[in-house]
Amino acid sequence: DGGITQSPKYLFRKEGQNVTLSCEQNLNHDAMYWYRQDPGQGLRLIYYSQIVNDFQKGDIAEGYSVSREKKESFPLTVTSAQKNPTAFYLCASSVGQGGGNTEAFFGQGTRLTVV
């Protein structure tokens, strides 16, 4: 099946700990995205990548880091510098050619909780 897979589904982080969220896609999409979802605030863009080995900060990149070493993979690390990381994290991908005129495909999300 073609799709986008996020893991784990639930993740618990201790104060001061870095954690990495996985995102893999087999859709052969060039563009990949990470969004954060908080209640009542919609989706906010953390990072995005239009091509392998390149990525750009979104609107709320502070306290997060990413890499794009392979076309299929776009992991997100939530660092200890992120002071309020508890949220639902969504990874998405799109064809990436021709601009933003193709729909994004989303993973099922990772719910991160600080304990």
Partner 1 sequence: AQSVAQPEDQVNVAEGNPLTVKCTYSVSGNPYLFWYVQYPNRGLQFLLKYITGDNLVKGSYGFEAEFNKSQTSFHLKKPSALVSDSALYFCAVGLYNFNKFYFGSGTKLNVKP
Does residue 106 interact with partner 1 by CB under 8 A? yes
Q: Which stretch binds partner 1 (CB under 8 A): 11-19, 64-72, 73-81, 87-95?
A: 87-95
CA angle in degrees (0–180, nearest 5) for 31-78-75: 35
Round to whole Å and give the CA distance between 11 and 107: 15
Interface positions, 15-44, toward partner 1 (CB under 8 A) = 30-31, 33, 35, 40-43
Among 76, 90, 112, 114, binds partner 1 (CB under 8 A): 90
Question: Do residues 60 and 46 lie in contact, with contact meaning Cβ atoms separated by under 8 Å?
Answer: yes
Question: Do residues 22 and 83 lie in contact, with contact meaning Cβ atoms separated by under 8 Å?
Answer: no
Among 27, 45, 52, 60, binds partner 1 (CB under 8 A): 45
Does residue 92 interact with partner 1 by CB under 8 A? yes
Round to whole Å and give the CA distance between 59 and 66: 14
Round to whole Å and give the CA distance between 39 and 81: 22
Residue ranges binding partner 1 (CB under 8 A):
4, 6, 30-31, 33, 35, 40-43, 45, 48, 50, 88, 90, 92, 94, 96, 99-109, 111
